[in-house]
Amino acid sequence: MPKRRLLHMPDVVSLDTYSVILVWTAIAIYTLAFIVYAVDLSRRSQESIEQHDAAESRQREKVGALNAASASPVGVDSRAADSSAAPIGAAKAPRRVFSRIGTALTVLGFLMHLGGTLLRGIAAERVPWANMWEFAMTGTLLIMAVYLGVQFWKDLRFLGTFMTGLVVVLLGASSTFYVAIVPLMDPLKSVWLVIHVFVASLSTAFLALAFGLSVMQLLQARRERLAVVAAENGGGPKRSFLRTLPSAEALEGLAYRLAIIGFILWTFTLIAGAIWAQDAWGRYWGFDVKEVWTFIIWVLYAGYIHARATRGWRGTRSAWLAIVGFVAVIFNFTIVNMYFDGLHAYSGL
């Protein structure tokens, strides 16, 4: 008996060790990507000035033409005043070398991250999301997957700094959650572990991206406000990477679309959790702390969706709701898991 274990154990240990090494490599590469993306943002600041000069001359021509055609009086609208709202992925956009390097690094980091996560799953002989360390590993992997996947739809690389930064912080901090591989506790032996936790993590990934966009939206809205004021006072534009980003309104639209995907997945998480609770605890809902927080988050995002449709709440206010919602998501994952007593005692800590 003991002999067999001696032969067997080192295998498992080393697989998990490789997994940890890969995850740390991923963190290192993400950190590099973060730096390169940050360089990209600072270059965008510079670009924004050059673009402005070009745009301004175009603007003058247009205004001239308009007046010539005796069209209606020209109002100074914020966008005309600072000609921001860069086309996303438009052909004439500069070839952002640093942005590309950042993305390439992120892909590389992602592959390491994926490898680390897969190895953990193989070593544990189950899905790699059954305790805090694994939730964090898989959750951040999905954040990166969604971030990279979304690039095929819209060029959102301006979020690169934000997303790589977020993942480095989350994954780095989660290393304190590390636990060795142990067999699953009985309540976790369920298909719902596979479905419920995965969908929750995927939802979190979409909400994370929406969160990043909402933060950008707030910054952009502030800059647009200031730009209008500056234009009225005859001041020039300030140099800012934000000037190369879509308008606040466009950012809001993007954030909303990602948030509703996250919301639908979260709704599904809630329902799947209730079904699982019915199997494991004998009732589908019992106001266990984790259930309560999942519900709070759901209601917050329902509030966000409503706010977007309510006059006076669209724009900045609804963006704050999206941010509060995501803070609640992170709170639910960290503080609630670690410090609140409840049935969801699966952090493995």
Q: Which residues here bind ligand HEM, judged by CB under 6 A?
A: 302, 305-306, 309
Cβ proximity to other proteins: between 180 and 338 the closer is 180
Residues 43 and 67: their CA atoms lie apart, in Å, by 36
Residues 295 and 287: their CA atoms lie apart, in Å, by 9
Task: Please answer whether residues 303 and 321 qualify as being in contact, where contact means their C-beta atoms are separated by less than 8 angstroms.
Answer: yes
Rounded to 10 deg, the angle between the 2-68 and 160-174 helix axes is 160
What residues contact 49, with CB distance under 8 A and at least 6 apart? 237, 239
Cβ proximity to other proteins: between 113 and 308 the closer is 308
Provide the minimum distance between the beta carbon of 24 and other proteins in the complex, in angstroms, as a whole number. Answer: 21
Per-residue x/- marks for other proteins, 176-205, CB under 8 A? ----xxxxxxxx-xx-x-------------
Cβ proximity to other proteins: between 222 and 283 the closer is 283
Burial of 69 (0-12, 13-18, 19+ CB in 10 A): exposed
| 217 phi/psi in degrees, rounded to 5 | -60, -45
Q: 108 contacts which partner out of other proteins, ligand HEM, none, CB within 5 to 8 A by kind?
A: none
Residues 130 and 99: their CA atoms lie apart, in Å, by 35
Is position 320 an interface residue for other proteins (rule: CB under 8 A)?
no
Considering only residues 145-164, where is the footprint of other proteins by CB under 8 A?
Answer: 154
Provide the minimum distance between the beta carbon of 307 and ligand HEM in the complex, in angstroms, as a whole number. Answer: 10
- Out of 3, 7, 53, 69, which residue is the one contacting other proteins (CB under 8 A)? 69
Region of 17-25, 108-116, 164-172, 291-299 interacting with other proteins (CB under 8 A): 291-299
Q: How is residue 142 written in tokens?
A: 């999905």
Q: 169 contacts which partner out of other proteins, ligand HEM, none, CB within 5 to 8 A by kind?
A: none
Is position 253 an interface residue for other proteins (rule: CB under 8 A)?
yes
